Structures are given as C-alpha cells and as structure tokens.
Amino acid sequence: MKSFKFKFLLPVMAFLMAIGAAFATQEDGQEDFALEQGYVYINEECQPQGRCDNTQAQVCTHNGFQVFGRSGPTKCLRTLYMNWIP
C-alpha cells in the first residue's frame, strides 16, 4: 500500500509544482505600458512637461521639443517614445 501511494503521489506532486512554477514565472507585460515622466530642456534646464508611454517607435515630442527621461538625478538624456500624455 505504501508503494502505491508513493507511485501515485510523486507524479501528482511533480505536476502540481510544474503548474505552480509556470504561473509564478509568467510576465503580465504591464511594465511596457507604464507612463514615464517626460522632461524638456527650457533655458538649459530640464523641466517636467508631461508623460510618454514608451509604446511606439516615434520619438516623444511636445510643442516641437524632444521629450527626455531622467538618466540620473540631474540629467535628462534618455530618449522617450510616443505617445505624449499631458
């Protein structure tokens, strides 16, 4: 009887662990749609001017100025992409 339980429960437990691991490692993809604060250089200063969602290939612009993302505490050099969201 012990042998039967072991032979039955071992594959069932392995199957349940595989299902749990599949759900634990699945990505939902929402990190690609997060809005990022956009900054525009005005008078040689990096000032906040809205958000870009980083989902398309076009560079994010606002009123003809390219919108950047923060690349450090004081620098705005990272290119952001469309869509502009005020």
Whole-angstrom distance, CA of residue 78 vs CA of residue 62? 15
Q: What is the pTM of this model?
A: 0.52
pLDDT in tens, 32-69: 566 788 888 877 788 888 888 777 778 888 888 888 88
19 within some domain = no
Q: Identify whether 77 is part of a domain.
A: yes
Domain count for the chain = 1
In this predicted structure, what is the pLDDT of residue 84?
60
Cα separation, 26 vs 2, whole angstroms: 36
On whether residue 21 sits in a domain, the answer given is no
With H, G, I as helix, E, B as strand and everything else as coil, classify residue 2. Answer: helix
Asked, for residue 1, whether it belongs to a domain, the answer is: no
Residue 6 lies in a domain: no
Residue 30 has pLDDT above 70, yes or no: no
CA distances from 77 to 9, 13, 73, 80, 86 (A): 57, 51, 11, 9, 20
